[in-house]
Amino acid sequence: MKIKPIMLVLAVAVLGAGGYGIYSVGMKRGMTMGGSAPAAVAAEKAADSIAAGEEATRRHMQQGIKAGDVDPLTGKTILFYQDPMVPGKRFDAPGKSPFMDMLLVPIYAGADADQGTVTVSPRIQQNLGIRTAEVVSGSLAPRVEAVGAIAYNERAQVLVQARATGYIERLHVRATLDRVHKGQALADLYVPDWVAAQEEYLSVRRMQGSDLEGLIDGARSRMRQAGMSEEQMRLIESSGRIHPRITLTAPVGGVIAELSAREGMTVLQGTTLFRLNGLDSVWANAEVPESQVGSVHVGSMVEARLPAVPETVFKGRVQAILPEVNPGTRTIKARVELINQNGALSPGMFVNMTFAATGGREALLIPSEAVIRTGKRSVVMVAEADGKFHQVDVETGLDSNGQTEIRRGLQAGQKVVVSGQFLIDSEASLSATATRLGGAPPPAADATQQHVGSARIEAIHQDTVTLSHGPIASMDWGAMTMDFRLPTAGLPRGIKAGDRVQFTFVMGSAGPQLVAVRPLAAGGEQK
């Protein structure tokens, strides 16, 4: 009775092992099937890379090698260890990953890392969508865009006041923002003080005599002091009657911005009854970033567009740059006077404004999207031959119409990356930083020393061949399976996967490079 649970556990273990074996075979077959597809090739290479990394980690654990040491097999400095599935975590010693059931893999300092250079194959460039653009010499004029708020043109503001003490008998406008036209009646005032002054003037005019000019001028002066205009005095002279009432009219067309009059109220001389604002032109207070205010000048032409009527362009000029910076938005107001076509612009509206470009000059230009701004510096990725890219610190200038001026760091004719540069820059920055932390770069391997070994060909690729070789004493290598770059002349004719060969190689900067490959007979003799 006690044996059954044990048998059950053994059965589950056997089934689990069998399932894992089937899974492993399926993964290998899935990775090798359709090998001509880029995704399958990439997956196979990624799996081989992880396997090679785990093999290196096992060797490091046996030899007591850790981060900061030089790997005797590759001659490269080990920067750190990481889990390929969790690359954000770094470890100083080899071992098992705390996240996955696999070993950590070593990350080495590249030969070009101190130069911030990375190499990307053409196929990977195409997959990542990397695009480049040439550094050109051209003319760049500052073009500033800003938003603005419409306000009344204060220069078109008019006040209507009482010229004498009186009473408002009738009010023709009764609310603010009412539209009025030039000459429209606003209010009727009865002025008692005018009655006595007018009667005196008319009485002097009726008198007979030759020396009355002085009296007439005196009476006219008293009417003028009472607040009467020349037009009103001429009306009294022509009609010969008293006119104690006056009708106040609008001196300009616009809107009633302020209304202080009410029917029946008494007003004193000089009291402001109406404030009118003309609408033929309005102000637009543009919020210009303080970093761009140097490109905006008094008198510059401005085009404004209103979201409500996007087909209409309102034109005007910069009237003034107000000497005050908004501490919250770090902007400076530029006052622009716009012609109010058809009265479409009303105070309080927002408009999009474009300041005309002036003062263009010759400069080196690149697309603005090519510039990587880190806050303290500006970086671009320069594309070189053979798929190599490296960082260049640049000093930027004007930025307009998708083009950025380069003052220092580039030359005309160079090519910069405009798409996918963030991926390349992150890789170059990581390599460069790691090299600085790791100290001096490792000594380069002797590319002239040749090493000999025997192996079985596992697979032949376009540029490399996978060999399962025995120990190589000259390199202090044990038996392993790894990739070698093909000889310059290629493999001998007739060699295929499964053949046993004797090979000679050298250690180059790009890894082991085959020099010669000779087939071996079944007994190990050369053919």
Per-block average pLDDT, block size 10, for the chain (527 residues)? 42 42 40 40 56 85 87 83 71 80 79 54 76 86 84 90 88 90 91 84 78 81 81 82 86 90 89 91 91 84 87 90 90 91 88 78 86 83 82 83 86 88 62 43 57 91 88 82 86 88 82 87 60
- Domain extents in the chain: 1-30, 34-108, 117-141+361-438, 158-277, 451-519
**Phi, psi dihedral angles at 389 (to 5 degrees):** -135, 145
Q: Give the span between the Cα atoms of 382 and 370, in whole angstroms.
A: 10
pLDDT in the model for residue 26:
41
pLDDT in the model for residue 119:
73
**Phi, psi dihedral angles at 225 (to 5 degrees):** -65, -30
Q: Is 56 exposed, middle or buried (0-12, 13-18, 19+ CB in 10 A)?
A: buried
pLDDT in the model for residue 19:
43
SS3 at position 64: coil
Whether 158-277 and 117-141+361-438 are alike in CATH topology: the answer is: no
Please tell me the pTM assigned to this model: 0.45
Class of CATH domain 117-141+361-438: mainly beta
SS3 at position 69: coil
Q: Which CATH architecture has domain 451-519?
A: Beta Barrel (2.40)
pLDDT in the model for residue 52:
79
Chain center to CA of 227: 64
Instruction: Label each residue of 291-353 as H, E or C.
Output: CCHHHCCCCCEEEEEECCEEEEEEEEEEEEEEEEEECCCCEEEEEEEEECHHHCCCCCCEEEE
pLDDT in the model for residue 275:
93
Q: Give the span between the Cα atoms of 124 and 39, in whole angstroms.
A: 11
CATH topology of domain 158-277: OB fold (Dihydrolipoamide Acetyltransferase, E2P) (2.40.50)
Q: Which residues contact 452 (CB under 8 A, 6 or more apart)?
A: 472, 474, 502, 503, 504
Inter-residue contact 255 to 178 (CB < 8 Å): yes
